[in-house]
Amino acid sequence: MNIISYIAKELNLRNEQVEAVIKLFKEDATIPFIARYRKEHTGGIDEEVLRQVEDRFGYLTLLGERRETILKSIEEQGKLTDELKTKIIDSITLTELEDLYLPYKPKRKTRGIIAKAKGLEPLALFLLESPAFSGNLEEKLTEFINEELGVNSAEEALQGAKDIIAEMINDNAEVRKGVREHLQEESVVKSERVKQKASTKEVSEKQQQKDKKEIYQIYYDFSIDIKKIKPYQLLALNRGEKEKALKISFVFDEPVIVNLMLKKFLTYKETVFLDIFMDTTRDAFTRLTFPSIEREIRAQLTETADLHAIEIFASNLRQLLLQPPMMNKIIMGIDPGFYSGSKVAVIDVTGKYIEGVTIYPHPPQNKSDEAKKILHHLISKYKVEIIAIGNGTASRETEMLISELIKEKELPCHYVIVNEAGASVYSASEVAKKEFPDLEASQRGNISIGRRLLDPLAELVKIDPKSIGVGLYQHDVDQKLLAQKLDNVVESCVNHVGVDLNTASASLLTHVSGLNKRIAENIIKFREKTGKFKCREELKEITGLGEKAFEQSAGFLKVPNGENPLDNTFIHPESYQATHVMLEKFNIPVAKIKESGAVISLIVSQKGTKKLAEEIGIGEPTLIDIIENLKRPGRDPREEMPKPILRSDVLKMEDLAEGMKLKGTVRNVVDFGAFVDIGVKQDGLLHVSQMANKFIKNPLDIINVGDIIDVTITGIDILRGRISLSMKN
């Protein structure tokens, strides 16, 4: 198999594109670097397609290695025919490859192997090779009775032959393929409640508690066509089965499958031994083929569901990380709580911690007046503009307190509810201890909440993405795959936004293309020792940051107000000379690029990018990127995202009414819809069926985490704390 050609055809690319990408991977180029700075080489392939190329190249390389191992193994057994070799070479999936290898794979001591040891293989072959036998079968069977080998009767001889044939049927690649396809197309997935045994020894207290809550009630008597099962349903079924609350099974027409197996296995249509073969095939299916294929299909379904759930998590995480920063604001962060109080912190415009305190406005202390005085003092003292309130325990009670304070004192500030998922993880982390060694863990979460509003990306990269809480069943999916995907998202976002070399933390720098934790820490040490970076060239003085790391990282590391204005753009240093040539053609000094965006646009539109690129001696895609960066130097891509909703008053569920129209912030997107913060204690559910006046297959086609949307209330259940929303006209 030619891997390059196969990937090119599969992804609708040219061979030379795939070849260029794989060559760059082998040179340790990162995906963000390739996507942004090697467009001429790849033909402008974006990050998503680059990752697909990387995944397929890895899979097909693994497939090739496995193919070679299998060919060598079968050849050593002296059983490699030309036909089998061709089938193995033409295999394009690991499943197909393993099916072909199964008859030759070393096995444990099976019933078929035991029967062969008793000398019954010739009998099995006789039954298969004599469809028109007209003699006495009983007499034929007695020929194989051998007490020394453990065959004591004709019945035992026949059973042994059937065991051998059953394994031959099970090991047949065409049979397995047929069974697999039939079950994937025609079966029904069924779940039922596991009946708990009375004995307390048999059922743990935890399981009994789960059963009382009836978490899986909708799946107690559930069935669905295997082709229609949704990823979240499968993940729920898997979790229910794991917790011994549900029993999962496949429902199918067994006689149809048995007939299918026999038809694919036998090379002839009629045989005098049909009854024997039917019985043997039923045994092969029930005892061997179905348990194996069922595990396979369950694994495939789970893998598909995992991938889907991971994609949703990744999409939500990306949107959360790319939320617009509330730059140049004095922010107060509040981590709400009841018994242990609410932790308050004030941070300056750079995110530096200024002052913190604990207040006790809620039960059991109920010191709300004292809390208001403390908050008012801090707000006035530091001219706080925005208050960030964590959305966990006591969030809405704290919101009420802040709303009352703003009204009573007529304060010129607003508040925002901030997703605090993972704040406690950060508080206890080594990163937090290093940042705030003199503060207790409980006093760090409030700082994180404030910083999440100031610059979500810079703060959230300090936390394990799995702890950020914008997914569905994230603890049930393949954890290695999830971690890899989320790390890719973080890397992509950090490099998409770029990093201020003079303010970035080590956590943020670690995710920059070409850098690692050690180099990131060395950058911080260099900055602390010598002061702010004046230009990108100084990076070459960093210990461990060699030529390759500089090439990969320099374009993503920005130096605002440095010696060279180009250092505050995404223009790579390797393109500085070309940029200077172009600016000289336009008679624009480098120092004046900030004010020259309109002039550059006009000249480029007159000349045309193709002609201009030829004159300068660079590729057109690179020229276009240079021009875009010169038009808006220092641009933060997040500026175009919708800003958080600033509030000064609070709503209660009792204030709501059906038909009321509100603005809301999308907090989480899942398969069946989205959860939307509309400013009351409970997030509302916007079901996928209520997103538009047409069928929506995937909610992510319509909305993303962080979107500000207009919704109409369609249902309120105060008792159960449920709000139904709609975006329909």
- φ, ψ for residue 444 (rounded to 5)? -100, -30
Beta-carbon-side half-sphere exposure of residue 400 (alpha carbons within 13 Å): 13
Q: Where exactly does CATH 1.10.150.310 map onto the chain?
A: 525-640
**How far apart (Å, rounded) are the C-alpha atoms in residues 120 and 161?**
6
Q: Pairing relation of β-strands 342-347 and 499-500?
A: unpaired
Q: Specify burial of residue 666 (Cβ count, 10 A radius: 0-12, 13-18, 19+).
A: buried
CA distances from 181 to 170, 448, 621 (A): 15, 51, 46
Beta-carbon-side half-sphere exposure of residue 260 (alpha carbons within 13 Å): 17
User: What is the CATH code of the structural domain delimited by 331-454?
Assistant: 3.30.420.140
Q: Where exactly does CATH 2.40.50.140 map onto the chain?
A: 653-726
pLDDT in tens, 31-79: 999 999 999 999 999 999 999 999 999 999 999 999 999 999 999 999 9
- Closest by CA to 296, choosing from 397, 404, 177, is 177
Q: Where exactly does CATH 1.10.3500.10 map onto the chain?
A: 111-307
| pLDDT of residue 201 exceeding 70 | no
Highest CATH level, class, for 653-726: mainly beta
| pLDDT of residue 179 exceeding 70 | yes
Q: pLDDT exceeding 90 applies to what percent of the chain?
A: 84
| pLDDT of residue 195 exceeding 50 | yes
Kindly indicate the confidence band of residue 215, based on its pLDDT and cuts at 50, 70 and 90.
confident
User: CB 544: neighbour CB atoms within 10 A?
Assistant: 13
| Least confidently predicted of 129-143, 194-208, 648-662 | 194-208
Q: What is the pLDDT of residue 211?
A: 46
Cα 168 from chain centroid? 41
| pLDDT of residue 265 exceeding 60 | yes
Q: What is the pLDDT of residue 721?
A: 84
Q: What is the pLDDT of residue 8?
A: 97
User: What is the CATH code of the structural domain delimited by 525-640?
Assistant: 1.10.150.310
pLDDT in tens, 284-322: 999 999 999 999 999 999 999 999 999 999 999 999 999
Q: What is the pLDDT of residue 635?
A: 87
Average pLDDT for residues 617-632, to the nearest whole number? 94
Q: Where exactly does CATH 3.30.420.140 map onto the chain?
A: 331-454
Kindly indicate the confidence band of residue 475, based on its pLDDT and cuts at 50, 70 and 90.
confident
Of the options 3.20.20.330, 3.60.40.10, 1.10.3500.10, 1.20.58.100, the CATH number for the domain spanning 111-307: 1.10.3500.10
pLDDT in tens, 219-258: 999 999 999 999 999 999 999 999 999 999 999 999 999 9
- Sequence-ordered list of residues with C-beta below 8 angstroms from that of 638, at least 6 positions apart, any chain: 322, 323, 324, 325, 457, 497
Beta-carbon-side half-sphere exposure of residue 518 (alpha carbons within 13 Å): 5
- Sequence-ordered list of residues with C-beta below 8 angstroms from that of 476, at least 6 positions apart, any chain: 235, 238, 239, 309
pLDDT in tens, 440-469: 999 999 999 999 999 999 999 999 888 887
| pLDDT of residue 200 exceeding 60 | no
Place of tokens 């743990």: 204
| DSSP state letter for 285 | I
CATH superfamily of 3-75: RuvA domain 2-like (1.10.10.650)
| pLDDT of residue 638 exceeding 80 | yes
3-state percent helix, strand, coil for the chain, nearest multiple of 5:
55, 10, 35
Rg (Cα) of the chain, in Å, rounded?
33
Beta carbons of 162 and 280 less than 8 angstroms apart: yes
